[in-house]
């Protein structure tokens, strides 16, 4: 198989990120990715492109009636209800009973119509207010997948400017001396980098956006720098920049 073909690389990377590449094919792709920088770039491209889809879906709890219906269908599919055959009454008695019932119903119906026709006109004064709830669609966050080279650590960063909130989900672990160093997250704006806070080396977390920070329109760029413990003492990156990646806001 010609793994140097760009079209093939992009297709395999997309299947790898989606999770449809299985078994030996997935293991072979992971081995190739350790030697091929182009494959790693394609994986990062698809992770950034597809990560925003997570924000579009919210978990929904089915109503109790749904579970009751499922339970009824599961537990009653094999039950057979026996049919009962009712003995028919003699024909003459049956028709005589129906004649009496029909006559009584006709008298009652005629009397009811006569009462309605002789009632005075009524004026309807009652009004009802109908409340219609229109769902408000919240803006989607900026999403970035940050994955330093030669490290198993990976961060998914979601920025909600309207809520003033930053959420971080970490997989793997970035090996640093946490007693001496910290990883600091930056957004690169037109007027330079602005600190968003310290990244966790493992686990998930969230932090408020800095006061007064405005995200530029369109996509943004995030970066990670290695700083002294507690973050940059100057408010600007002082240590080496480990990586920079786009933060995409799906339309």
Task: Read off the CATH number of the domain in which 189 is found.
Answer: 2.60.40
Residue 175 lies in a domain: yes
Average pLDDT score over residue span 73-97: 53
Q: How confident is the model at residue 92 (pLDDT cuts 50, 70, 90)?
A: low
Residue 131 lies in a domain: no
Residue 195 lies in a domain: yes
Average pLDDT score over residue span 60-73: 73
pTM above threshold 0.75: no
Whether the Cβ atoms of residue 158 and residue 55 lie closer than 8 Å to each other:
yes
* CA triple 153-157-158, angle to 5 deg: 160
Between 1 and 192, residue with greater pLDDT: 192
pLDDT of 95: 47
DSSP class of residue 175? -
Average pLDDT score over residue span 125-129: 60
pLDDT of 168: 92
pLDDT of 81: 46
β-pair type (181-189, 192-198) = antiparallel
What is the tally of structural domains in the chain? 2
Range of the domain at 171: 139-251
pLDDT of 132: 59
Average pLDDT score over residue span 86-107: 52
Which two three-digit tokens encode residue 179? 């007693």
Q: Are residues 45 and 147 in the same domain?
A: no
Residue 88 lies in a domain: no
Average pLDDT score over residue span 79-102: 50
What does the alpha-carbon distance between residue 135 and residue 71 come to, in Å, rounded to a whole number? 31
* 65 phi, psi to nearest 5 deg: -65, -30
Q: Are residues 42 and 148 in the same domain?
A: no
pLDDT of 122: 55
Residue 155 lies in a domain: yes
Q: Are residues 147 and 243 in the same domain?
A: yes
pLDDT of 83: 45
Would you say residue 69 has pLDDT above 60? yes
Average pLDDT score over residue span 130-144: 72
Of 13, 32, 51, which one is at a domain's C-terminal end? Answer: 51
Between 85 and 192, residue with greater pLDDT: 192
> Does residue 119 come out as left (phi exceeding 0), alpha (psi in the -120 to 50 range) or beta?
beta
Residue 95 lies in a domain: no
**Nearest C-alpha neighbor of 15 from the set 37, 23, 56:** 23
Would you say residue 97 has pLDDT above 70? no
Q: Are residues 250 and 146 in the same domain?
A: yes
Residue 90 lies in a domain: no
Between 74 and 179, residue with greater pLDDT: 179
Please list the alpha-helical segments (H only) found in the chain. 6-18, 23-35, 37-51, 64-76, 91-117
> Does residue 235 come out as left (phi exceeding 0), alpha (psi in the -120 to 50 range) or beta?
left
């Amino acid at each position: 198989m010609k793994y140097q073909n760009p079209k093939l690389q992009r297709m395999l990377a997309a299947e790898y990120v989606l999770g449809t590449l299985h078994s030996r094919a997935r293991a072979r792709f992971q081995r190739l990715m350790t030697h091929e920088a182009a494959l790693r770039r394609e994986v990062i491209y698809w992770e950034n492109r597809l990560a925003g889809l997570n924000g579009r879906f919210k978990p929904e709890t089915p109503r109790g009636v749904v579970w009751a219906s499922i339970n009824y269908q599961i537990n009653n599919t094999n039950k057979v209800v026996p049919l009962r055959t009712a003995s028919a009454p003699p024909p003459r008695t049956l028709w005589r009973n129906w004649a009496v019932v029909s006559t009584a119903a006709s008298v009652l119906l005629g009397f009811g119509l006569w009462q309605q026709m002789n009632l005075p006109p009524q004026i309807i004064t009652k009004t009802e207010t109908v409340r219609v709830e229109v769902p408000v669609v919240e803006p989607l966050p900026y999403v970035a997948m940050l994955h330093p080279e030669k490290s198993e650590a990976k961060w998914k960063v979601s920025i909600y400017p309207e809520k003033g909130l930053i959420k971080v989900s970490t997989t793997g672990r970035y090996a640093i001396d946490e007693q001496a160093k910290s990883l600091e997250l930056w957004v690169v704006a037109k007027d330079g980098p602005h600190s968003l806070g310290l990244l966790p080396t493992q686990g998930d977390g969230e932090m408020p956006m800095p006061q007064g920070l405005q995200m530029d329109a369109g996509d943004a760029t995030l970066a990670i720098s290695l700083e002294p413990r507690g973050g940059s003492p100057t408010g600007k990156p002082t240590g080496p920049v480990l990586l920079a990646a786009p933060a995409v806001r799906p339309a």
